[in-house]
Chains A and B, each alone.
Chain A
Amino acid sequence: MAKRSVIPFGPQHPVLPEPIHLDLVLEDEVVVEAIPNIGFVHRGLEKLVDSRDYKQYVYVAERICGICSFGHGMGYCESVERAMGIDIPARAKYLRTLWMELSRIHSHLLWLGLLADALGFESLFMQSWRLREKILDIFDMTTGGRIIFSVNQIGGVLKDVEPVMLKEIQKTITELESEVKPIIRTFLEDRLVNMRLRGLGVLSKEQAYTAGAVGPMLRASGVAYDSRETGYAAYADLSFGPITAIEGDSYARVKVRLAEILQSFEILQELLGKIPSGEIAIPVKGNPKGECFVRIEQPRGEAIYYTKGNGTKYLDRFRLRTPTTANIPPMLDLLKGCQLSDVALLILTIDPCISCTER
């Protein structure tokens, strides 16, 4: 048996945008075990429900992470609204869905750029982020922020999207649909990308299911599960289905995310045709009492929001289980048996978001 050695990976590593530490146990060049260590960016945001009232906490919730920002705000609002038995106006539901789907496109484009960067494909990385810039401009125009929107409130949304803006959004996404094609073709057909990703880190359907993988990671292994089908916001009115692949390797994970970008464009086109007019928020009086548990499909996978109110303006508990938390155990499965040089790429394929995970 070859001599075992331990190599520390992270928390500062060129491929990682955020800090996660792994102790890699190696036999020659092959990883036999990976021991994760997180907690470098813990900020104690869940604890803040004790000192910020439930309406103010929306702004804290959306600052948990920069990329899934809108989803966190929306998930928190949905759970409080359900606990209080509030039914928000239809237009608010559609607007939330609009911003959520745009967030999904921007998150996936960001991830594709990071992956291209890890592969050493600089021009593809720049092109992905160049397209993402257009989505950020839409956010800037409609909400006033490029990353953090601050448009959610308990009972609806704060800002309306005017018809002129809706037309502008429709124009931009139609343009983007054709502009994103060269990127998709490159990721799927380019020989260099194929050589790096095909057959790398295969996660079988059973493994994915038992280890509790979520989101594109789960769907790339062949499990057709998408929590958007639970019908929160306006998703119940829209037609879509989970996108799956059967291979379960890194290439399949790229393929699923690329297909999800195109699916989001379709959902947006349908949504823009259906969006009702009317109120965007209803006044909320009183304090939440009772508990509620909501599942939301974030770009990275299923996130769970739990709130417990006690009848005062401060909540008893807010709990968030993020997709990356669920995807770390399957990631450790993937790392067993892989080459040391593939570790960085494999960590990237789960689309890790550490600041969400540690809150």
Chain B
Amino acid sequence: MARKEKLFVFTPQILKNLVSKPVTEAYPFEEAHYTDRMRGHIEIDIEQCISCTLCAQNCPPRAIKVDRGKGTWEINRFDCVQCGNCVQVCPKKCLHMKKGYTQPETQKSVEVYTRTIQKKKFPKASSDCVYCTLCAKKCPRDAITVDRSQKLWSLNQDLCVSCGLCAKNCPKKCIEMIEINDEEAV
């Protein structure tokens, strides 16, 4: 069998590489370049946060902890895998995936953010309601039940996270976010 076996096949490429520039960045000596879509770290706009806990429930490595009573939002940067699922599920869009990495640390620590506690608001449908079920469809927690035949609109307050998506998406603008009593406030 005739084989095409040669020596020094790769030598031209080696010589070419000798005179060409390196393809990687010499990072600590020059600035690193990040692309716009880079999944670097999570940032929170804490004043927009309503402590709905959806991010904590949907975090695959359970790196986020939310305390509704104290109004805190905690992230363990060492557990976070930058999947961006919390950004996807946040109903208030107060979580953002930013480019660039966080600083390395010698000890594992948890970052805590505290929001100003506001009275909890629940949605209430007025008599203008046409039972279109859009609010129920948009609810991230399935807290709203609409029965078109019985003309019933009901809310499960235990499930509701006061995100206000129902009020925002109501075509008749008949849903209002109403504060509840002080003793029930969280």
A residues in contact (CB < 8 Å) with B: 52-53, 55-57, 59-60, 63, 121, 123-124, 127, 130, 133-134, 140-145, 148, 150, 153, 158-159, 182-183, 185-186, 188-192, 194, 285
Contacts and interface: CB of A to CB of B under 8 A. Distances in A.
B37 A56 contact: no
Given A144-B37, A182-B12, A56 B58 contact: yes
A144 B38 contact: yes
A158 B88 contact: yes
A191 B23 contact: no
Contact of B83 (A123, A134, A150, A185): A150
B7 interface: yes
Interface of B: 3-7, 9-10, 12-14, 17, 23-24, 35, 37-39, 58, 60, 81-85, 88, 97, 137
A238 B154 CA distance: 51
A171 B58 CA distance: 38
Contacts of B7: 190-192
B83 A143 contact: no
A127 B5 contact: no
Contacts of A190: 5-7, 9-10
Given A56-B85, A194-B5, 12 more contacts: A57-B60, A59-B60, A123-B17, A133-B23, A141-B35, A141-B37, A142-B37, A150-B82, A158-B84, A182-B12, A190-B7, A190-B9
Nearest to B37: A144
B83 A59 contact: yes
B81 A182 contact: no
19 contacts: A56-B60, A57-B60, A59-B60, A123-B10, A124-B10, A134-B23, A141-B35, A142-B37, A143-B37, A144-B35, A144-B37, A144-B97, A158-B84, A159-B37, A186-B9, A189-B4, A190-B7, A190-B9, A191-B7
Contacts of B13: 123, 127, 182-183, 186
Nearest to A126: B17
A150 B39 contact: yes
Closest 9 CB pairs of A and B: A144-B37, A59-B83, A144-B39, A191-B5, A186-B10, A190-B9, A182-B13, A59-B60, A150-B83
Contacts of B88: 153, 158
Contacts of B97: 144
Contacts of A140: 35, 37-38
A357 B35 CA distance: 33
A208 to B, nearest CB: 22
Nearest to B39: A144
Nearest to A131: B23
A264 to B, nearest CB: 21
Contact of B85 (A59, A121, A192): A59
B157 to A, nearest CB: 22
A191 B6 contact: yes
Contact of B81 (A63, A130, A189): A63
